[in-house]
Amino acid sequence: MSRKTIPQLGRPPGRSRHAPAHKAASVSRAGIQTRFQTREWPLAPPPDHCPALVLNADFRPLSYFPLSLWSWQEAVKAVFLERVNIVSHYDRVVRSPSFEVRLPSVISLKEFIPATRRPAFTRFNVFLRDRFTCQYCGRPFPTHDLTFDHVIPRSRGGRTTWENVITSCSACNLAKGDRLPHVCGMIPLSPPFQPTAYELQENGRAFPPNFLHESWRDFLYWDSELDPM
């Protein structure tokens, strides 16, 4: 059986098939398990710290917030199954007994995935629509300090919909209670609405993650300056 050839792959000359390795992970193709051994390079980050940025076939990120990232195992498996193209690499290698793979830092899908027209109605997406800002006091908060509030309380017939739910901090939510906005004088800064997927993605660009690898720079367009690895 001939050995499979994968771009950027190749077994280093003189390396023993039984050479020890520090870590291992597995991917499968057609039910066949393949062990990948990770070689520890000096000063190199561990493989778990080497996620791959996933781009759609048009070379735009699948998602900005949360940023579309795959673990190195998922990325290598997708390469092995020929579902993605490798755009850029880390200076890091994983090995199997028959070949080696440079860990991809950026991959693009071979088939285009259309964006969802209507985003899911979730607590997180409500926060993202409102840019993690309390719609009563106007202050931004981390997600664990936020809750959502019914503008028209449920006890007054209000429904749990995009058009009646807003982001609120705990203090403002408690202060409003089950009163109507005009009664307590707490009018939302912006009227709640159902956002599009595009609007949520645009809002997400204002909140870049803490980790941004240098190779991702050409594919991300944030409102704030990139912090490369």
The percent of residues in the chain predicted with pLDDT above 90, rounded, is 48
Per residue in 172-218, pLDDT (tens digit) is 999 999 999 999 999 999 999 999 988 988 888 777 665 667 777 77
In this predicted structure, the answer to whether residue 39 has a pLDDT above a threshold of 80 is no
In this predicted structure, the answer to whether residue 27 has a pLDDT above a threshold of 50 is no
Ordered structural domains, the chain, with CATH: 23-115+209-219 (no CATH), 126-193 (1.10.30.50)
Alpha carbon dihedral 11, 17, 18, 22, in 10-degree steps, equals 20
In this predicted structure, the answer to whether residue 136 has a pLDDT above a threshold of 60 is yes
**Residue-level pLDDT at 223:** 43
Alpha carbon dihedral 22, 26, 32, 34, in 10-degree steps, equals -30
Give dist(CA 99, CA 84) in Å, integer.
Answer: 19
Per residue in 51-86, pLDDT (tens digit) is 999 999 999 888 877 788 999 999 999 998 999 999
